Amino acid sequence: MLFKAPMSETDHPDRNRRKLYGRRKGPKLSDRQAGLRRTLLSELSFDPAQKAQSQFPDSVREFWLEVGFGAGEHLVWQAEQRSDVGLIGAEPYEMGVAKLLTKLEEKQLPNVRLYEGDGRDIIDSLPDASLGRFFLLFPDPWPKTRHHKRRFLQMAMLDQLARVLKPGAELRFATDDKSYLPYALERLLAHPKFEWLAKGPGDWNSRPADWPSTRYETKAIKGPPAFLRFVRTTNVTP
């Protein structure tokens, strides 16, 4: 029987992949949080290698993805409002996942699945036109110019999101960073497969009714937040 040698650091597939998030580890987890990571996380874990439908109840008719869900308040709210939607949340920060798990232990929402890792893994694995909505709320702004290449909203990523979003599906983005807002708008407006839904300043200065606030937003660390809603266009490019 042949055994494959352990993968070396130079062989690792993520070695040349640009990192888009900060630290994974934070404060020490409480006993309860550590216990939930061992038990509940395994029950709710999303596997990018498997079909999404097979990982949700039969009542789920559509899938939404939130990358970088923080403590999970927005994800939980959406899941409570839409039991027919499968909410997939990706978050590499261990403490964020732990905080969401404590909420899910209490609420027991069967239409939530979690991925403790890079959201690109999920996007890369999804079939074409499989998402009804995508959320990127208050991502790390990577404010230094030399780090802008680490920002999530790159043109290549928008190409991927255009592929996995259904025609008419929404991409929602929020930031309180004054440099990330024009950066994101420049790319979204330049992409031929996304259309901005805003008709006036009120459409990006305030949240829609189905967009709940979070603790991060309330802190308003850098300034007033902006809320962008773009739709995946239905036009087909020859």
Q: Is 203 a catalytic residue?
A: no
- Among the listed residues 47, 121, 140, 203, the single catalytic one is 140
Which of helix, strand or coil describes residue 9?
A: coil
27 by Cβ neighbours in 10 Å (0-12 / 13-18 / 19+) ranks as exposed
What whole-number distance in Å separates Cα of residue 114 and Cα of residue 71? 12
Beta carbons of 139 and 70 less than 8 angstroms apart: no
What whole-number distance in Å separates Cα of residue 93 and Cα of residue 47? 17
Ramachandran area for residue 70 (φ above 0: left; ψ -120 to 50: alpha; else beta) = left
92: CB partners within 8 A, 6+ apart: 21, 24, 116, 117, 118
Give Cα separations from 167 to 55, 128, 176 (angstroms): 24, 10, 28
Catalytic residue IDs: 140
